[in-house]
Amino acid sequence: MHNNFYFFLGKKNNFSSLFFFTIFFLEFSSACLSQTKNNIEVFFNLADSAANSIIENMPSKLKPVKVHFDLSNDYSVFNNRILADLKSNGVNVVPVNLKDTSYSQINFTISDAQVNYKNMFRESFLGKFYLERNIMLIGNYSISDSLLFIKKFSYVSNDTVSYNSIGNIQSSSYPFAKGEIPAEPFISSFWEPLVAIGATATAVLLFFTIRSK
């Protein structure tokens, strides 16, 4: 009798340890998920790269410069980002409506911005689905000073995101920051509930079998 009691007590402690480990794992996973950058944040990082390229190719950061943007309404969100990058790096940006023709001039254009999800996979059997996320920013800029400098750019970010997180990382305010979401494989949506039910039934059966001994 005592042996059975201690055996059950040991099993109970194992169940408790498993329960707390599961809670910890879920909390840790949620924390990692919350660190995933949303699509517009990734686009801003790519825009920062474009701004750094401009700065590297400027004849002088001290000379006043006008910045003209040739962007569609969808891409106008990048205006302030590029200007902030230039100013924070010491570029002397002046209003474009100044008539002084001695100022340098930057013309900045974005021709394409897109998000693509592909290659869905799961980390383990019955584990979470993940997707490869590909974000691309394409455009060009010119710097007019004593000479004309023109450069095309294409910046790409590739990473992996949880399928369940896509609803949080997409941006409803900016159409270009949303990609087509692949459908979850049918076979997984069919088998997972059956496996979960079977696992639960097995756990309950084992629990009462241990108690009865």
Lowest-pLDDT range of 63-67, 68-72, 79-83, 195-199: 195-199
pLDDT at 55 over 70: yes
More confident residue, 132 or 202: 132
Residue (of 130, 142, 135, 109) closest to 182 by Cα position: 130
Single-letter code of the amino acid located at 199: A
- Whole-angstrom distance, CA of residue 122 vs CA of residue 163: 9
- Whole-angstrom distance, CA of residue 190 vs CA of residue 201: 18
What average pLDDT does the structure give for the chain?
80
Are 36 and 164 in contact, with CB atoms under 8 Å apart? Answer: no
pLDDT per position as a tens digit, 60-77: 888 899 999 999 999 999
Residue (of 69, 70, 61, 140) closest to 104 by Cα position: 61
Residue (of 120, 101, 126) closest to 189 by Cα position: 126
pLDDT per position as a tens digit, 10-22: 544 454 444 444 4
Query: For the chain, what is the radius of gyration of the CA atoms?
Result: 28
Number of continuous H segments (helices) and E segments (strands) in the chain: 5, 4
More confident residue, 148 or 18: 148
pLDDT at 116 over 60: yes
Helix (H), strand (E) at residue 139: strand 129-144
pLDDT at 87: 96
Q: What is the arithmetic mean of pLDDT over 31-42?
A: 77
